[in-house]
Amino acid sequence: MTQKLHLNLINENEILSSGPVRMHVLIPVLMIALTIGVGLWWFFLYLNYSFVKGMNTQKIEINKQLQPGYQAVQELNKQEKKLQSLINQLQSYKQSKLGYGEVFNSIPQHVMPNIQFTKLELLPPPPPLFAKDKEVDGPTNTVEQTAFLITGRTTGANAVDSVEKLLVALQGDAYTNLIRRAHIPLNAIRPENNPRSENKEFLRFEIKCECQFRRFE
């Protein structure tokens, strides 16, 4: 029986791979492809950056061109709001006005001969409950209290009665459209400080008439 011997005479570095592409060729090709890919990626990033930068520059230029017109529109809007506020205030005053004329014209028929008016004064409304931080164009409250004060003097034996009759007349139904409450303030009937005139002693009096509320709505 004969034995066959197999002798390998090929060096290890001479052994070829079973694949169609050798490793020492594949690795450089992969490195070159990777380098090209990274370069293309950076190139597209640069193109995108340049495009965005160009768009931003264009927007800035457009904003510079539109800024004067925008500021003009803003100023017109402010003026419109201010004018509209004034119109609203005037409309509020128009709706809240009280009719003093007819009432004042009818008061003399209730004044006795021994009464003389010295002053008829419309009292200013009370200040708002809270201090205003800045000046405004109209009333800050939706409701305003108004009043007027009648100041005069009277004489004779029925001097006080004449004033009382005038007060009762002002409290009557004929004046309820304007006068909400009429009264003589405390110590409002007092002797006149001036010397006697024509041997008569005069009394000073005041009648305060609180009017209906003015509603600014």
| Rounded Cα–Cα distance for residues 162 and 156 (Å) | 10
Q: Are residue 92 and residue 105 in the same domain, yes or no? A: no
Tell me if 135 is assigned to some domain.
no
Count Cβ atoms below 10 Å from residue 161 Cβ, excluding itself: 13
| Rounded Cα–Cα distance for residues 95 and 12 (Å) | 113
pLDDT in tens, 26-67: 777 788 888 888 888 888 888 888 888 888 888 888 888 888
Per the CB < 8 A criterion, the answer to whether 21 and 30 are in contact is no
The number of distinct structural domains making up the chain is 2
Q: Are residue 54 and residue 119 in the same domain, yes or no? A: no
Is 138's pLDDT higher than 80? no
Q: Are residue 69 and residue 117 in the same domain, yes or no? A: no
Q: Are residue 112 and residue 201 in the same domain, yes or no? A: yes
Give the domain extent around 42: 23-96
Single pTM value for the model? 0.53
Q: Are residue 163 and residue 121 in the same domain, yes or no? A: yes
Q: Are residue 49 and residue 73 in the same domain, yes or no? A: yes
What is the percent of the chain where pLDDT is above 70?
76
Mean of pLDDT over the chain: 80
Beta strands in 54-201 (DSSP E): 115-123, 143-144, 147-155, 179-183, 190-191
